[in-house]
Structure 1
Amino acid sequence: MAQYFEIHPDNPQPRLLRQAAALLRQGGIVAVPTDSSYALACHLDDKDAAERLRRIRQVDDKHHLTLLCRDLSELASCARVDNRQYRLLRLGTPGPYTFILEATREVPRRVSHPARKTLGLRVPDHKGLQLLLQLHGAPLLATTLIPAGASEPLNDPQEIRRHYAGQLAAIVDAGACPREPTTVLDLTPMGVGGAPEVVRAGRGSLPALGL
């Protein structure tokens, strides 16, 4: 049965998130709030946890999982970023954007796209999740919490509890999230002189990035 941590959205309690971080390090899957919707997260270097994450979401290895990073420097350590890409990333972090970039060798190959060797990365603008990332001390592997067969993510922590309590180590309840997906931008064309491609228009403003 999942542990349930109810945190304040603006002043999250470190004691509770420290417990959630410990469960992540032990291989647990944790439902976490973000600045777009709730997500499922696990420890990046835990192969078994990543496989369970995919099973819960019912997605295969071609589905882009996302690395949740504390800041732009941590993001840049996980992906190959040139100067043009970096300037755009600065405009969109932290915020409700997911950027598709080529993974570095430091990222386990099993979590990147099998053909393209890319992955999604983001720096969320959510105080509770930022503190959890700080306490965990490393990026988290994540995917939006959308039930199988549904098109919208779950936004009510109690509903998440009813659906997934037996499959998760913990649920971090920070109240309702915006329930609007991130804007997804593929930045890999920029590496060969092209323009970023909008994969999905979501909560993140495109004009704010000059697009």
Structure 2
Amino acid sequence: MFLHIHPDNPQPRNIRTVVDCLRSGGVIIYPTDTIYGIGCDIYNQQAIERICRIKNIQVKQANFSFICRDLSHLSDYARNIGTPIFRILKTALPGPYTFILEASREVPKALKTKKDTVGIRIPDHIICQTIVQELGHPIMSASLPMGDEVEYYTDPEMIYEVFGKQVDIVIDSGIGSMIASTVIDCTDGTPQLVREGAGKWESII
């Protein structure tokens, strides 16, 4: 399904269509404040495995992150967040950052890395926030497996041409960004830059 959702005023009926799809084990491609991502319900193992097949990777190699609505989800899925790190998160989020944190017991085992960590994303994008709010918990997020063809990350019509038969819904909210999120590792209490992307590293340290 190719589903248009208004980027500023998401239609409630279309949001419900997406959430119903996720609850039934569906896989979606959706916009964020950076590039389009592919995702599913974090608690649906079959959907997670399906995304891994699309990306041609093993689950433990996937480096998935969670799309959360706001910082209220942090205590559910991450632990040992000291005050200095929380202040950084509060400053940077919502925004184009992925923070690697220690995973709590609530994180499904299939989505934990070998180091027992989890990536947390709170995109500054109303569609993401609305989907997660209606679903009631985070959705899993991963990048599209498209190599260096930037257009396939940004143009929903081209994304649909490539992935329309492999996923259940491709959301169209217009052309996306060409730059992925900035990834920051906070597991040892001091933020370490892993990948510089759309988020400015200097603005949060």
Normalised by the length of structure 1, the TM-score is 0.91
The match for 1:207 is: 202
Work out the CA distance in 2 between the residues paired with 1:69 and 1:14.
Answer: 19
Work out the CA distance in 2 between the residues paired with 1:136 and 1:179.
Answer: 27
The match for 1:112 is: 112
The match for 1:132 is: 131
Question: 1:135 Cα shift?
Answer: 1.3
Counterpart secondary structure, 1:177 = coil
Work out the CA distance in 2 between the residues paired with 1:131 and 1:77.
Answer: 19
Contact 2:153 2:176 in 1 (8 A): no
Question: 1:151 Cα shift?
Answer: 6.7
Amino acid at match of 2:105: R
The runs of 4+ residues in structure 1 deviating greater than 6 Å are: none
Cα-to-partner distance string for 1:12-58 (whole Å, 9 max, x where unaligned): 11110110110000000000000001000101111111111111122
The match for 2:86 is: 86
Work out the CA distance in 2 between the residues paired with 1:181 and 1:33.
Answer: 12
Work out the CA distance in 2 between the residues paired with 1:109 and 1:134.
Answer: 23
Amino acid at match of 1:118: T
Q: Which runs of 5+ in 2 are unaligned?
A: none
The CA RMSD over aligned residues, in Å, is 1.3
Amino acid at match of 1:95: G
The match for 1:177 is: 176
The match for 1:27 is: 25
Normalised by the length of structure 2, the TM-score is 0.94
Amino acid at match of 2:42: L
Work out the CA distance in 1 between the residues paired with 2:96 and 2:68.
Answer: 12
Question: 1:129 Cα shift?
Answer: 1.4
Moved more, 165-174 or 72-81: 72-81
Cα-to-partner distance string for 1:121-159 (whole Å, 9 max, x where unaligned): 110100111111111111001101232x44746211111
Counterpart secondary structure, 2:193 = strand
